[in-house]
Amino acid sequence: MAYDKSEYARKRISAEGAAALVQSGSWLDYGFGLGQPDRFDAALAARAGELRDVRIRACLSMRPRAVLEQNPESRAFTFLSWHFSGYERRIHDAGKLAYIPFNFGEGPDLYRRFLRDEVDVACLKVAPIDEQGCFNFSAVTTYLRAVCDVARRIIVEVDPALPVVSGSETGIHLSEVDGIIDEGGSGALPELPNPPPSDVDRQVAVFVTSLIEDGACLQVGVGAMPNAVCSELARSGLRDLGVHTEMMVDGIVDLYESGAVTGIHKSIDRGKLAYTFAAGSRRLYDFLDRSPVCVAHPVDYTNLPDRIARNDKVFSINNTTQMDLQGQACSETAGFRHLTGTGGQLQFVRGAYASRGGRSVICLSSTYERGETPVSRIVATLTPGNVVTTPRSDVMYVVSEYGIACLKGRSVPERARALIGIAHPRFRESLEREAREKGILPRGFF
């Protein structure tokens, strides 16, 4: 049924008019990634001199936020993020942003159960209205439907450049919207660069690929290393792979176009590539636009372990930045400095374990550079302040460029020995010595 065009006309509002709805002390929600507003953001920032203590939640900001580009002494806006982008990390380092800890798949429930009285205005970027009167959330389905369910006022900022996606809970109807910002042209969508894989990334990818079987259902994280895994899989000869992931990345597009992905063995979304958000190149966004093979779902559908486990042979691939000799994976901080977020790592590790024939892999390069000095990512003692993302009891496979360690069913001394074996050779002797000094490798063991 066609929508009421007069209702659309009544609800049109300028960015300045929408920003005028915000009062001091209000709670706002900017949504996620590609779906964060730009024109509203600029208009709201222009009111910094007259507002105080406006709190804004967002996630994975892919371009600068005008409300953050303020005088550091301004008390107008407080910005809170569910997961840091590189931009948000820099703003956090400057003391102008705070992280909200959560497991990504809990997002819809968090809004509906804990934040239902804390969204005064939601402003979300959407694709143009369709013939049924719906605005599509585009490739950031995540928890946006839940935000709309609890928001007192909903403003949509229309952007024709956004890809239109199909799936579940992918949009909002005109009747639910309080204001429509549709003036102004559309700029280019923000893109997430794909760093070229290093020799270390490629070697890790070879080891990871050796653990994957035909018909496996993949979850792939972000970064050069997971993209290298996709490239290696495309060359591996593996067939009939499936995709059930939180993030759609360019590497998955490459893998699909190689013919390795069919999804015919999946139990849910059979034959489809399932995801909850995308961030990458324009090529990725074009691939998703009205795609007959991709399906977007809310994040509680993609990320809750019981849902993940409905597919057999789930294979989860994620990165970490530090791991101790007991197998604790620290993937979101560097000491007390926050880097990213918990995201879906823990939920996919647990979902893969619960899947029949499932496996999870935590990848890491054995070292990183501090100045010109190499530092081991595998350590006897975690850096003070480091947050454990995946507990030792959940970690299954760990892969570095030096090999594979399976930690399931292993004692603490066995874990330490296995992880020392995939550490960089220059650090193995010192790791073993420290492990013995701390009692992780007791005398008489190994």
Q: What pLDDT score does 85 carry?
A: 95
Provide the domain limits for residue 171. 10-181
Number of residues assigned to the chain:
446
Per-residue tens of pLDDT for the chain, all 446 residues: 688 999 999 999 999 999 999 999 999 999 999 999 999 999 999 999 999 999 999 999 999 999 999 776 788 999 999 999 999 999 999 999 999 999 999 999 999 999 999 999 999 999 999 999 999 999 999 999 999 999 999 999 999 999 999 999 999 999 999 999 998 766 799 999 888 899 999 999 999 999 999 999 999 987 788 889 999 999 999 999 999 999 999 999 999 999 999 999 999 999 999 999 999 999 999 999 999 999 999 999 999 999 999 999 999 999 999 999 999 999 999 999 999 999 999 999 999 999 999 999 999 999 999 888 999 999 999 999 999 999 999 999 999 999 999 999 999 999 999 999 999 999 999 999 999 999 999 977 65
Closest CA to 415 of 388, 397, 390: 397
Residues 231 and 158 both lie in one domain: no
Residues 164 and 215 both lie in one domain: no
Residues 348 and 227 both lie in one domain: yes
d(CA 268, CA 259): 20
The reply to whether 407 falls in a domain is: yes
Q: What is the DSSP letter of 210?
A: T
The reply to whether 191 falls in a domain is: no
The reply to whether 303 falls in a domain is: yes
Angle at 155 between CA 88 and CA 165, to 5 degrees: 75
* Structure-block tokens of residue 444: 């008489």
The reply to whether 222 falls in a domain is: yes
Question: Which positions ≥6 away from 222 have C-beta within 8 Å?
Answer: 192, 247, 249, 279, 319
d(CA 31, CA 422): 40
What type of residue sits at position 1?
M
Residues 231 and 341 both lie in one domain: yes
Residues 153 and 221 both lie in one domain: no
Q: Which residues are catalytically annotated? A: 246
Residues 242 and 103 both lie in one domain: no
- CATH code: domain of residue 361: 3.40.1080.20
Q: What pLDDT score does 7 carry?
A: 97
**Token match 């005064």: residue?**
120
* Boundary-marking domain end, from 148, 181, 214: 181
DSSP letters, 23-58, are -TT-EEEEEEGGGS-SHHHHHHHTTGGG---EEEEE
* Boundary-marking domain end, from 181, 212, 228: 181
Closest CA to 107 of 80, 144, 78: 144
* Structure-block tokens of residue 23: 């009062």
Residues 107 and 144 both lie in one domain: yes
Residues 223 and 174 both lie in one domain: no
CB atoms within 10 A of CB 213: 12
Residues 176 and 206 both lie in one domain: no
Domain count, the chain: 2
Closest CA to 29 of 156, 133, 168: 156
The radius of gyration of the chain's CA atoms, rounded to the nearest angstrom, is: 23
d(CA 118, CA 290): 34
The reply to whether 446 falls in a domain is: no
| Burial (0-12, 13-18, 19+ Cβ within 10 Å), 187 | exposed
The reply to whether 3 falls in a domain is: no
Q: How far is CA 290 from CA 25, 294, 295, 372, in A?
A: 40, 8, 10, 47
The reply to whether 445 falls in a domain is: no
User: Would you state the torsion angle of the CA atoms of residues 193, 198, 201, 207, taken in this order, to the nearest 10 degrees?
Assistant: 140
**Strand pairing category for 171-173 and 121-126:** unpaired
**Ramachandran sector of residue 119 (left: φ over 0; alpha: ψ -120 to 50; beta: rest):** beta
Residues 255 and 113 both lie in one domain: no
Residues 332 and 427 both lie in one domain: yes
The reply to whether 194 falls in a domain is: no
Residues 287 and 319 both lie in one domain: yes
